[in-house]
Chain A
Amino acid sequence: MTAAPASFRLDLSGLDTRPAQVWGGVRLVPLVRPEPITDLRLHQELYEDEYAAIPATRRTHYLSYIPHGFVADWTRDGTPAAAYGTHLGASASPDPLPERVRVRPPRRLAKRASRTRLRFLPLHLALDGYLALHFGGPAVVWEQWSDRALRRGLSPRAEEAYAGHQVRGLADALRVFELHPGQCGLVVYVADTLAAAFVVPHPDDYRALHHTLLLDLYGELIHHYATLSAPVPDFRADLRTAGPINSAADLRAAVTRQEHAWAAFHDTTMAGGLLNAAYRAHTVRRLDRFTLTRFLPGFRPRQENHIGEAITDDHGRIAYLKTFRLSEPQTRRGHLLDRLAAHDWHLPTTATALGLTEPELALRLNTAGFSALLR
Chain B
Amino acid sequence: MLDDSWSAYGSGVKRRRPLAAALACHFLLEALAGEYTALWTSGRTDALLARPSGPTPLGRRVLDALDTAPQRLLIVSDGWDNAPPGLAAEVLRVWRTRLDPERRTSVVHLNPVYDAEGFDVRRLAPTVPTAGLRDAEDLPALVEFARFAEGRTDLAELTAHLAARTARFLAPPEVSPR
Q: Which of A177-202 contact B (CB under 8 A)?
A: 177-181
Q: Chain B residues near A181: list those with CB within 8 A.
A: 42, 54
B83 to chain A, nearest CB (A): 5
The 8 A CB mask of B55-72 against A (1 = contact, 0 = none) is 110011001001100000
Q: A178 and B7: CB pair below 8 A?
A: yes
**Number of B residues with CB within 8 Å of any CB on chain A:** 26
B85 touches A19 (CB 8 A): yes
Please measure, in the bound complex, the distance between the C-alpha atom of A236 and the C-alpha atom of B42, giving whole angstroms.
21
**B 90-119 binary contact with A (CB < 8 Å = 1; else 0):** 110111001100000000000000000000
Q: Does any Cβ of B come within 8 Å of A18's Cβ?
A: yes
A262 CA to B84 CA, complexed, in Å: 9
Contact with B along A221-263 (1 / 0, CB 8 A): 0000000000000111111000001111001101100110010
In the bound assembly, the distance between CA atoms of A209 and B19 in angstroms comes to: 26
Q: Which of A153-190 contact B (CB under 8 A)?
A: 176-181
Contact A179 B91, beta carbon cutoff 8 Å: no
Knowing A21-B82, A237-B85, A246-B98 are in contact, say whether A178-B90 is a contact too (CB < 8 A): no
Tally A residues with Cβ within 8 Å of B.
28
Chain B residue at minimum C-beta to C-beta distance from A21: B82
Residues B86 and A179 in contact, CB atoms below 8 Å apart: no
- Least CB separation from A240: chain B residue: B90
- Docked Cα-Cα span, A138 to B93, in Å, equals 62
Complex: A235 Cα to B82 Cα, angstroms: 10
Q: Which of B63, B86, B95 has the most CB of A within 10 A?
A: B86
B63 touches A252 (CB 8 A): yes
- CB of B7 within 8 A of CB of A245, answer no
* In the complex, residue of chain B having the shortest beta-carbon distance to the beta carbon of A176: B7
Chain B residues positioned under 8 Å from A178 (CB to CB): 5-7, 54-56, 82-83
Contact of A237 with B55 at beta-carbon distance under 8 Å, contacts A245-B94, A251-B63 already known? no
User: B1-13 interface mask toward A, CB cutoff 8 Å, 1 = contact, 0 = none?
Assistant: 0000111000000
Name the residue on A nearest B52 (C-beta): A178
Which of B56, B67, B84, B94 has the most A CB atoms < 10 Å from its CB?
B84
For this complex, 16 residue pairs linking A to B, each with C-beta atoms less than 8 Å apart, are A18-B55, A21-B82, A30-B55, A177-B6, A178-B54, A236-B85, A237-B86, A239-B91, A246-B98, A248-B67, A248-B99, A251-B63, A255-B60, A255-B63, A258-B87, A259-B84
Given contact pairs A18-B55, A178-B82, enumerate 12 new A-B contacts (beta carbons under 8 Å): A19-B55, A19-B85, A21-B82, A30-B55, A176-B6, A235-B85, A236-B84, A237-B59, A248-B66, A248-B67, A251-B99, A258-B87
The 3 closest A-B pairs by CB, nearest first: A236-B86, A19-B84, A237-B87
